[in-house]
Amino acid sequence: MSERYDVAVIGAGPAGLAAAIYAARARLRTLVLDESIPGGQVKTTHKVSNYPGFPEDVKGADLAAAFAAQAERFGAKIRRSVEITKHDLAATPKTLELDEEETVEARAVIVATGAKPRPLGVPGEDLFKGRGISYCATCDGAYFEDKDIHVIGGGNSAVEESLFLTQFARSVTVVHQFMELQAEPASVQEALANPKIHFLLGHEPRGFQGEAALERLEVEELATKERKQLRTDGVFVFIGMIPRTDLLRPYLPLAQGGYVETTDAMETKVPGLYAAGDIRVKRFRQITTAVADGTIAALAAQKYLH
């Protein structure tokens, strides 16, 4: 006999946990599933400065834990490190097989699977992943104590994680394709004032080389097409995210880039199936907007179930 829920939320990031808080408070039997621990991208963000309610910066890991604790307080059940190995999200009720071992049923499903780091797609990247190339500064920053490292990207993540990495590294060189950084001016100013951070603007990575571990980053100066070999101890890549929407592929046509179209109530074309957070087609992807999506999805699911 499979366990039955009113709402299953897939993904325990800000969108999923906000949905769980609202669903659980509406006294819906709520299950949250995540392949990792709760928090989504927030849990590996070293600090969050723009989430309302925290006049001082909050550590991403603490904010993630607080979201999860709040959802659990109202009775949402959060299953950590669980993999969905089969699913039927078009059926009534919808079914999910977990870790090839058990099946759960839910009358409504909110998919909030978020996004993962976009790889650069240049030669050597797969080979040196974990051997010098990283996508998570909080996880791997400590490996680079007193080292000379590079950060690829010029948005908020790239600039803010560069600042974090200066705690460990001897130098951090930010390599960015454009001549200007796209990050918020507050972070850019802080980075410009940091003596450990250097900038290589108008350059793009072209390849990674080394023996057992990464030793050189090859870049191209876009204006002159000149290629340069940079000695490096490590490269952190922050060039945006790609949505995790493979789960939805059998049920819905996906929009460009793999994102999901929804109504403004977070409904997909499948009854009882909602999408929230970074997987949606939308213009801005922030913690605040993810939380808003999750809220709306849970309220819409509540109406659908009654």
As a whole number of angstroms, the distance between CA 93 and CA 125 comes to: 42
DSSP 157-196: HHHHHHHHHTTT-SEEEEEESSSS--S-HHHHHHHHT-TT
Q: Which residues pair with 97 in a beta bridge?
A: 86, 103
Cβ closer to another protein: 64 or 111?
Answer: 64
- 30-33 vs 273-275, strand pairing mode: unpaired
Dihedral angle, C-alpha 213, 215, 218, 219, nearest 10 °: 110
Tokens linked to 269? 């074309």
Strand, helix or coil for residue 211: coil
Q: Cβ(109)–Cβ(273) under 8 Å?
A: yes
140, 233, 278, 293: the catalytic one is 140
- Residue 246 bears catalytic tag: no
CB of 202 to another protein, least distance (A): 28
Cβ closer to another protein: 80 or 249?
Answer: 80
Q: Give which of 115, 93, 112 is closest to 104, Cα–Cα.
A: 93
In the complex, which residues of this chain contact another protein (CB under 8 A)?
Answer: 35-37, 39, 43-44, 61, 64, 80-81, 83, 85, 99-100, 116, 129-136, 138-140, 142-144, 212-214, 234
Cβ closer to another protein: 93 or 119?
Answer: 119
As a whole number of angstroms, the distance between CA 257 and CA 280 comes to: 10
CB of 43 to another protein, least distance (A): 5
99, 126, 139, 246: the catalytic one is 139
- Residue 62 bears catalytic tag: no
CB of 121 to another protein, least distance (A): 16
Cβ closer to another protein: 133 or 219?
Answer: 133
Strand, helix or coil for residue 110: strand
CB of 37 to another protein, least distance (A): 5
Q: Cβ(217)–Cβ(134) under 8 Å?
A: no
CB of 28 to another protein, least distance (A): 26
Cβ closer to another protein: 115 or 290?
Answer: 115
Tokens linked to 272? 């009882």
- Residue 136 bears catalytic tag: yes
Active site residues: 136, 139-140
